[in-house]
Amino acid sequence: MALHLGVNPDTGEAIRLPEEDLLRHVVILGATGSGKTVLAKAILEEAVRAGVPVIAVDSQGDLASLGLAPTQDSVALHPAPQDIVDGYWSRAAISIFTPGSSKGSAASLNPLKSPPAFDSSEDAVLYLDALAESLAGGMGYEPSHDGGSRAKDAIYLVLQDAWKAGRWPADVQALSRLLEREPSSDGERLLSKRERASLIRRAKSMTVGAKGLLFTAGAPLDVASMLAWAPSGRVPVNIVYTGGLRNTTERDLVVATLCEDVYHWMTSQPSGDLRLVLYIDEVAGLCPPHPKNPPAKKFLSLLFRQARKYGVGLIVATQNVTDLDYKALGQANTWALGRLLAKQDLDRVRHLVASLHPSSPETVMEEIPSLRPGQFILLSPDHVGDARRLEVRGLATQHVVVAEEKFREVQSSHALVSPPEAEDARTARRRRLATAAAKAARSSLKAEVEEGVGFRVLKIYEDVPGMYGPEEIVAMTGLDPRFLTILVRKLAEARLLRVEHVDGRDVYWDPTVGFDLRRGVPERAATLPLRFPLVAATKRVREHLERRMLVIPKERLSRKEFYYLPLWRVEAELPLGRKGGRVARQFYVSAVSGEIAHAVNGSLSFEEFPRKDGIRYESLALKAHLESGPSQKIGDPVPLAKVGPSQAVEIVRRSFGAKVSSDHPELCLLPLWKFQVESTEDRKTRPLWVDGTLGTVLRAPPEGL
């Protein structure tokens, strides 16, 4: 399949690159704003349409938008052919990996996987040397310095001995244990005792503290798994996000480990056909000129030299054209040159243009400064022939920077287009009603939309539970805002969604699923005071257990967890009876169960059926004691809410005959501790809950927890 990249802006002729040219690798150069990432995304979209899996290293978050369908605005600015849009979205399956973090699919590093079966001793030397250099860099050594070079060589000798003896270390901790052993005669000459002790300390510290999350947070990055997770008929698009890492050293180590695993995978499963595209954005810092040798450089050089014969195509891009090792990238056959204005940048690529386009290099050099954003000079002697001027086509996806907090949302909303499984009666009914709602919305607006759009929107509320308005759903789907406004209203009329008026606008949620208060609206939530932090809550639990010791075998605390229970705070006025007049009161309604939460003699109680007059109810906390903050930043577990704000208002009105002061109750969070209590005899455990505001040891867990 030929890859459709765009058109010649002078002639309108379509510019296509043969699929197999990706095996000869692609380098994209251009100043900031020249459109490098847009061109790279166009190539990746074409790879997905051709059925080729993708792994892309994303340092800024803009590649994560490969999981966002185009909006009306983005299509108006950069229209893409409909067959390209349909072809991409019918095949792509997105996963965003976040090494050292759980913002997306949590991933860790293990550079010490079993080495591949080497074809020659030279391959073994190259691989082990590159691995030792990446590990030394991860430990904080500078391999270009004398001390760093000797530390790298010491690691190399340990790895070589372990490989030859068949006792390869399984991870970094195992490597540190090997380093502690008596070194070989060669290794002993390399480092003094003090230097070796320092090397061992650095190896051990790699898995400690914040930097240790890189090696412990989630399953290790594994290329074989990254290419196998997608549903049948789908093409995996794996985004490895490095923008959340603490420093460039960690980014270098992530890229080095990823490239190492690509090398391991491709050499252990040889194939000459194109079967993987690896894209690395902003490669300059990873592959600088000699004598700099960051951890990823040697593995990148190995891939550029050998990946072609194993069916792996590389694409790299950078704006820093002067800080690039062109010798290491010399195997690339296709170069895309965007706008460059600085004299040193133009001088740096002059030799490249002369070698790829010897007939008239100066003509090409004269064009480069005048290129507009999104325009490139394409040099691919084997397939394109002469230098071609390229204007990149519109994308099948949005081109925006996706915030880390949205990664899971992007993955979940995109997964809605996976092939459906056999439907049960409930799903079939919901699909039927959603289809009817979409048909009614389409007829009222006479809009052209995809088949099944009603159920697709409904599934967003099911798969990514939240209280969303049309604006949020437009961002997830790219649908016409006018059509979507009518569609969600029709879904609410069919009782598939429930409508609420929050923060000055209509929002919706699925009553059969509930909603996560951290998604959509409300934008802020108030926290009840944590008067019983861990120390005080633990004391309450111990006192509770001591009172039970006479009838219950000895128990001890084994572990603890922290949660929030969502409540609606409803302000209301109650009649004073014969005296006349009214008195102001506030009530807390559980957003999970609809029960009234209140204090009884200083202890927390939940009641579905009020036992006394509302005037006599003791509130959990005064409004002045609440602390408000953004709901999206709540990191602790919160159960899905099943009671909306309008329902909470109605519960208070019907339960107490109250006149509600406002139809917009405040979302509040009650802190809760969950302790696991273990029997010292049979080791059986049971949960014990303590609320963090009143310190009540609850007889049963709150509903939803």
The tens digit of pLDDT for each residue in 510-564 reads 999 999 988 888 889 999 999 999 999 999 998 888 876 555 557 888 888 999 9
User: Would you tell me which CATH number, out of the four given (3.30.2290.10, 3.40.50.300, 2.60.120.620, 1.10.10.10), belongs to the domain 420-519?
Assistant: 1.10.10.10
* Nearby residues of 586 by Cβ (< 8 Å), 6 or more positions away: 569, 570, 571, 572, 619, 623
Return the sign of the alpha-carbon dihedral for residues 511, 515, 521, 527: positive
H or E segment and range at residue 695: none
What are the DSSP calls for 414-455, one per residue?
Answer: HGGGSPP----HHHHHHHHHHHHHHHHHHHHHT----TTHHH
CATH superfamily of 2-109+222-392: P-loop containing nucleotide triphosphate hydrolases (3.40.50.300)
* Nearby residues of 677 by Cβ (< 8 Å), 6 or more positions away: 541, 545, 555, 556, 557, 558, 685, 686, 687, 688
Query: Which tokens belong to 464?
Result: 């990514």
Q: How far apart are the first and last CA of the chain?
A: 52
Check residue 416 and give its pLDDT. 37
CA 511 to CA 440: how far, in whole Å?
Answer: 22
* Nearby residues of 24 by Cβ (< 8 Å), 6 or more positions away: 308, 313, 331, 332, 333, 334, 382
Give the count of beta carbons closer than 10 Å to the beta carbon of residue 554: 11
Residue in 586, 544, 539, 546 with CA at minimum distance from that of residue 567? 586
Task: Label residue 367 exposed, middle or buried (CB < 10 Å: 0-12, 13-18, 19+).
Answer: middle
* Nearby residues of 685 by Cβ (< 8 Å), 6 or more positions away: 558, 676, 677, 678, 679
CA 291 to CA 146: how far, in whole Å?
Answer: 12
Q: What are phi and psi of 488, to 5 degrees?
A: -65, -30
Which residues in the chain land under pLDDT 50?
414-421
Residue in 527, 526, 588, 547 with CA at minimum distance from that of residue 697? 547
Instruction: Decide: helix, strand or coil at residue 521.
Output: coil
